[in-house]
Structure 1
Amino acid sequence: MIKRLIFLGLLLLSGTSILPVSAQILTIATEHFPPYNYLDDNSKVVGINAELVQRSCEIAAIDCSIQSYPWLRAMSLTLENDYGALFSTLRSADRERQFQWVGPLVKSRAILYRLKSRPEIQVTRLEDAKNYVVGVARGDVYEAYLQQNGFSYGKNLFGFATKAEAANLFVQGKIDLLIGSWQILPMWLAPYNATVDDVEEAFQLRELGDNYLALNLKVPKQMVDQLQQALQKLHESGEYQQILEKYQYAPQHVSAQK
């Protein structure tokens, strides 16, 4: 008994958690990225991927706390927290070894859009887009992709805290190209009295990966596996499809399971 008490005391002094995996709270960060994840009128995180993640937590019997932040802050918190996670995170080659992964969740093709009122904007290849200003979210995977392809701030990139934030200056014609998809544009444009009828595709960007729930490398593998199994159960039960239909999401744009 004395040895056991000494052992427990040493664990407490060392800061090592002695709680079972199921008793640990998984702190999940996300960003404003409708319709996948966003705050409703009651400041609750909702959206297609938000519901998929929340239901996966419930099925796996894991206590999850979901909060919304600007993307760079959300990424930083996840990397700093041993029980941190982040969605909707595009699983790219550059990020592969930074996290453990649960998914795929839902996403759609990334496209460069222009206003219909600006037909002079012509992009037939990525190189052409360098002649215009593209709105990007700081820390986003497409920011890195464009920079790797020769784009730069002060020349043809303009940064925002969130992806949706770029829509304001885009509608005003102050930036030339907006990265988005037909699924997300209606919610992005609505606050600025614009609709998808006001825009058109300029160029389809290269696929960089699927959206996932990214977990800190120190999250126990048992918890990661439980969440992956729970997501699979959502597929098998038909609830996954029901969540998509709730948000009127077009099935043809859904990422295939891997």
Structure 2
Amino acid sequence: MKLPAFVGRALRPFLALALAGLAQSSLAGGELRVVTEELPPYNMTQGGQITGMSTEVVQAVMKEAGVQAPIHSMPWARAYDTALNEENVLIYSITRTPQREKLFKWVGVVAPTHWYLFARADRVGPLRQLDDARRLQVATVNEDAGEQYLLGRGFVIGKNLQSSNRYELNYEKLKAGRVDLWIANELNALYLAREAGDDPERVLLRVLDLADLASDGGLNMAFSLKTPDATVERFRKALETVRRNGTYEAIRRRWQ
């Protein structure tokens, strides 16, 4: 059936918008998959929705890039393995380290970070160097940057590292005295202490600064190697825009 000419004219703007939307959301290489973990306040599930400082930045970048994709939260080791081995995968919040440099296509920093070895304030005093921690038990998260950092310096899971798959479990172990130390991102550690009803400045002691763990001082978004360069560049430009137009700074202020 042929539509009247005036109907066709009326529909043209809507068809143009729809086609533009399809063009914007399409990516070279296929559908995008976004993976993350529960790392509050950067990425976390609240009321069935994934939110957090890094999540808001990633969502702003996707909007700027004209791309829509669901975000999947899962244990870090699984998210990390997915991004290592599958195509068109975007992962965040990931620390950029020399060990990981050639394993991903990096987009850029989505949130600030600073790593420490934490202790319970009444149990362990400040450490002079990392070697002082070798005789102690350290809580880590499976395949996260903190665990990889310590493994690369001769620490051993089952000897002086206790690995788990959830950050809040590590705080619970530290608080209960089942471990001596906890390697953690500062904002995450403070957030989890507050969520447990504790004053982090009274309970937690920063016993060793690990500023060298994240050389760029941030948590990143990165793509799997099996992602077209055009997609990566599209997201890099979108992140630059989000940082330049003030969106990134506004999000950071809300969460810090």
TM superposition score category, shorter chain reference: 0.7 to 0.9
1:234 aligns with 2:238: no
In structure 1, what is the equivalent of residue 149 of structure 2?
145
Return the offset for 1:73. Answer: 0.6
1:174 to 172, 178, 183: 178
Determine helix, strand or coil for the equivalent of 2:71: strand
Separation in 2, partners of 1:35, 1:140: 16
Where structure 1 has 5 or more consecutive residues not aligned to the other structure, the ranges are 1-18, 250-258
Separation in 2, partners of 1:172, 1:85: 36
**What TM-score, normalized by structure 2, do the two folds share?**
0.83
Determine helix, strand or coil for the equivalent of 1:89: strand
> How many residue pairs align between the two structures?
228
> CA contact under 8 A between 1:57 and 1:230: conserved in structure 2?
yes
2:62 to 57, 61, 74: 57
Separation in 2, partners of 1:65, 1:34: 19
In structure 1, what is the equivalent of residue 196 of structure 2?
192
Determine helix, strand or coil for the equivalent of 1:155: coil
Determine helix, strand or coil for the equivalent of 2:91: strand
Q: Once the two structures are superposed, what CA deviation does each residue of 1:237-256 show, in whole Å capped at 9, x if it has no partner? A: 11111101111x2xxxxxxx
Determine helix, strand or coil for the equivalent of 1:218: coil
Separation in 1, partners of 2:254, 2:126: 36
Q: Once the two structures are superposed, what CA deviation does each residue of 1:177-198 show, in whole Å capped at 9, x if it has no partner? A: 1122442223212343322121
Separation in 2, partners of 1:207, 1:165: 25
Amino acid corresponding to residue 27 of structure 1 in structure 2: R
Separation in 2, partners of 1:158, 1:99: 27
Q: Which moved more, 1:51-60 or 1:193-202?
A: 193-202
> CA contact under 8 A between 2:28 and 2:228: conserved in structure 1?
no
Return the offset for 1:22. Answer: 6.8
Return the offset for 1:23. Answer: 9.4
1:114-125 superposed matches below 5 A: 114-119=119-124, 121-125=125-129
Q: Which moved more, 1:156-165 or 1:131-140?
A: 156-165
2:160 to 153, 156, 161: 156
The 1:213/1:60 distance shift into structure 2, 3 A limit, reads: same
Structure number with larger C-alpha Rg: 2
The 1:207/1:220 distance shift into structure 2, 3 A limit, reads: same
In structure 1, what is the equivalent of residue 220 of structure 2?
212
Amino acid corresponding to residue 159 of structure 1 in structure 2: S
Q: Which moved more, 1:122-131 or 1:76-85?
A: 76-85
Where structure 2 has 5 or more consecutive residues not aligned to the other structure, the ranges are 1-24
The 1:81/1:181 distance shift into structure 2, 3 A limit, reads: closer
In structure 1, what is the equivalent of residue 12 of structure 2?
none
**What TM-score, normalized by structure 1, do the two folds share?**
0.82
> CA contact under 8 A between 2:173 and 2:179: conserved in structure 1?
yes
Determine helix, strand or coil for the equivalent of 1:131: coil
Amino acid corresponding to residue 65 of structure 1 in structure 2: P
Separation in 1, partners of 2:171, 2:187: 14
